[in-house]
Amino acid sequence: MNIFQTLNWHAGRRPEKPAVCDKDRCLNFQELVDMTQGIAARLDGDGIGFGERVVILSDNCIETIAFLHATALTGCIMVPANTRYAADELRFLLEDSASALVLFGTAHRDLLNAALVGLATKPRTAEIGDYCAMPTAASIAKWREHKGFEHADYGCIATDDVAMLIYTSGTTSRPKGAMLTHGNLLWNSINYIMESELHHTHSAIVATPLFHISGFGVLHGPLLHAGGTLFIIDRFSSEAVTGALKTFLPSHLFLVSAMWVKMTEDEGFLAQTYPETTFISTAAGPLSEARQTSIRDRFPNAEFGWGYGMTESCVTTIKSQRTAELEGHPGTLGYGWRHVQYRLVDEAGTVLEPIGNSGELQVRGPVVFKGYWNNEEATAEAIIDGGWLKSGDLFRFDEDGFAYFIGRSKDMVKTGGENVAAQEVEQAVIRCPGVLDAAAFGVPDDHLGEMLCVAIETVAEANLSETAVRDFCRTQLAGFKVPKRVHFVDALPRSSSDKPQKFKLTEMFK
């Protein structure tokens, strides 16, 4: 079973219904199936088959949606790349995934060319719009005849075959490729369709980037699976979302919290209401009560929901669906979904009674990823005891089964919807001339959720400025990983084992 099979089913049932649109185009379900099969035919012709990796380096576009579905027809693996990467970070992704092909958007040609410098084995490259262009009816008929009815309509993969490698920052200095299977994507859709009661009459704006699992997995992929319609914004801006709300009139809208902050500071968005939208939701960081009220006022007929998940769990595992749930359980992120198991464990790994205790959340079920690409050690660390996925996050549950986030047990800063590994930032900062030691940490921020900061001890007589440190970091890191604030200290606060006490830094500088 796979997501293409459902796409093709909708093409048979309602071929003329709009499936995916952007500001210039609108493809119905049959046309989206045609584009998907055309991509598969092109991949077959280029010899890119089962298990081969293909990097997508592009802003949000219809072609990315079609390509993901085409993985079910060829068995190739899609590797979405963060368009905000620095060249060194993209180069690592290309090396680690050993990709055979890179499909890029023209806006990212220079980044790709810079990343290719120094690669021992260079992948083929092609512009994504050209490679995924709509095929002719004759070419599709020829491909279908060659592959046969069963393959063309149902695909060639098993449920446990990998569909996507999504590189996610961990507690180590380099990202790891999380292997998400066709079964993971399918069960994520089932969870959303059942819990959020998605229907083919529904529609949604896609403004979160498709290189994150939240771009496809939170609402959008499941809604397309249900037969709904997506409107794709190539790159988020409050103006673009406001315009789409007025013209597309979506029933559903998901934005990460940092995006909602931008929306609530846009006078154009605040100047009107959007009564056609019936469900709005967020994740990835806190929002003040004032901002939540402002958002709800703009959507007078919409339920408001919150959610929690990980790339490794194919995104959402906990979600609220109704405003009343949040009002009746202040501070909750929602409840556990029916096709996921949950448990809390203490620092020693002892399983706790969920009510009245707090501990690390662990989940198990068909949405849990297959592991990290070529990294058995990290996989064994993440998935334990017969399939339990360690979240690294501390939670508690109330008597009604609602979950409350307490904090992170792993050293991460979540800023603007992006997970940033503190160690990666620290290693970059320490390479800056004049830096003796550094500790990266987050402080609460109304715009970003957490603001990424770094505290620095300098060598004697070093003449460093905040600007100099941040400029150096820009040569080492993607822009969103560059600390927003640099604090110079005589000595980092340390524990008895000499580890920096970051909670003290947070208190000092928040």
Answer yes or no: is 493 within a domain.
yes
Confidence of residue 497 (pLDDT cuts 50, 70, 90): low
Answer yes or no: is 176 within a domain.
no
pLDDT at residue 499, as a whole number = 73
Examine the domain organization and report whether 63 and 93 are in the same domain. Answer: yes
Tokens of 11: 């093409």
Examine the domain organization and report whether 399 and 426 are in the same domain. Answer: no
Confidence of residue 101 (pLDDT cuts 50, 70, 90): very high
Answer yes or no: is 256 within a domain.
yes
pLDDT at residue 510, as a whole number = 87
Domain count, the chain: 3
Examine the domain organization and report whether 81 and 230 are in the same domain. Answer: no
pLDDT at residue 508, as a whole number = 93
Q: pTM for this structure?
A: 0.87
- Among 101-115, 127-141, 390-404, 405-419, where is mean pLDDT lowest? 405-419
Q: Give the C-alpha separation, 71 to 56, whole Å.
A: 13
Answer yes or no: is 323 within a domain.
yes
Q: Give the C-alpha separation, 457 to 437, whole Å.
A: 5
Answer yes or no: is 40 within a domain.
yes
Residue range(s) defining the domain that contains residue 61? 1-15+22-157
Examine the domain organization and report whether 247 and 302 are in the same domain. Answer: yes
Task: Give the domain CATH number at 500.
Answer: 3.30.300.30
pLDDT at residue 172, as a whole number = 46
pLDDT at residue 231, as a whole number = 98
Answer yes or no: is 244 within a domain.
yes
Q: Give the C-alpha separation, 66 to 38, whole Å.
A: 9
Taken as a whole, the chain contains a residue count of 510
Mapping DSSP onto H, E and C, the string for 169-220 reads CCCCCCCEEEEEEHHHHHHHHHHHHHHCCCCCCCEEEECCCCCCHHHHHCCH
Tokens of 374: 């070529």
Q: How far apart are the first and last CA of the chain?
A: 49
pLDDT at residue 417, as a whole number = 85
pLDDT at residue 198, as a whole number = 97
Examine the domain organization and report whether 218 and 271 are in the same domain. Answer: yes
Q: Taking 50 as the threshold, does the pLDDT of residue 2 lie above it? A: yes
Q: Give the C-alpha separation, 473 to 494, whole Å.
A: 24
Q: Taking 60 as the threshold, does the pLDDT of residue 317 lie above it? A: yes
pLDDT at residue 288, as a whole number = 77
Q: Give the C-alpha separation, 272 to 357, whole Å.
A: 44
| Unique residue bearing structure tokens 């995006």 | 259
Answer yes or no: is 372 within a domain.
no
* Tens-place pLDDT, residues 8-45: 999 999 999 999 999 999 999 999 999 999 999 999 99
Cα 96 from chain centre: 19
User: Would you put residue 441 in left (φ > 0), alpha (ψ -120 to 50) or beta?
Assistant: beta
* Tens-place pLDDT, residues 455-477: 999 988 888 999 999 999 999 89
Confidence of residue 418 (pLDDT cuts 50, 70, 90): confident
pLDDT at residue 495, as a whole number = 66
Residues 6+ away with beta carbon under 8 Å from 45: none
* Tens-place pLDDT, residues 258-269: 899 899 999 999
Percent of the chain scoring above 70 in pLDDT? 98
Examine the domain organization and report whether 51 and 105 are in the same domain. Answer: yes
Q: Give the C-alpha separation, 41 to 50, whole Å.
A: 13
How do beta strands 412-415 and 418-421 pair? antiparallel
Q: Give mean pLDDT, residues 200-225.
A: 96
* Tens-place pLDDT, residues 232-254: 999 999 999 999 999 999 999 99
Answer yes or no: is 371 within a domain.
no
Residues 6+ away with beta carbon under 8 Å from 403: 308, 318, 332, 333, 334, 335, 336, 361, 395, 396, 397
Examine the domain organization and report whether 243 and 390 are in the same domain. Answer: yes
Tokens of 505: 């830094």
pLDDT at residue 239, as a whole number = 98
Examine the domain organization and report whether 196 and 150 are in the same domain. Answer: no
Q: Give the C-alpha separation, 87 to 115, whole Å.
A: 5
Tokens of 37: 């099969």
For residue 345, the cross-strand partners are 351, 360
Examine the domain organization and report whether 286 and 434 are in the same domain. Answer: no
Measured at the CA of 51, the angle between CA 316 and CA 418, to 5 degrees, comes to 35
**Mean per-residue pLDDT of the chain:** 94
pLDDT at residue 498, as a whole number = 61
pLDDT at residue 463, as a whole number = 87
Q: Taking 50 as the threshold, does the pLDDT of residue 171 lie above it? A: no
* Tens-place pLDDT, residues 42-84: 999 999 999 999 999 999 999 999 999 999 999 999 999 999 9
CB burial readout 185-203, b (16+ within 10 A) else e: bbbbbbbbbebbebebebb
Last residue of a domain, one of 157, 190, 210: 157
Q: Taking 60 as the threshold, does the pLDDT of residue 173 lie above it? A: no
Examine the domain organization and report whether 130 and 277 are in the same domain. Answer: no
What's the helix, strand, coil split of the chain in %, to 5? 35, 25, 35
Say if residues 233 and 241 touch (Cβ distance below 8 Å): yes
The residue type of 81 is: A
Q: Give mean pLDDT, residues 415-432.
A: 86
Measured at the CA of 221, the angle between CA 238 and CA 207, to 5 degrees, comes to 10
Examine the domain organization and report whether 190 and 231 are in the same domain. Answer: yes
Task: Give the domain CATH number at 265.
Answer: 3.40.50.12780
Examine the domain organization and report whether 431 and 493 are in the same domain. Answer: yes
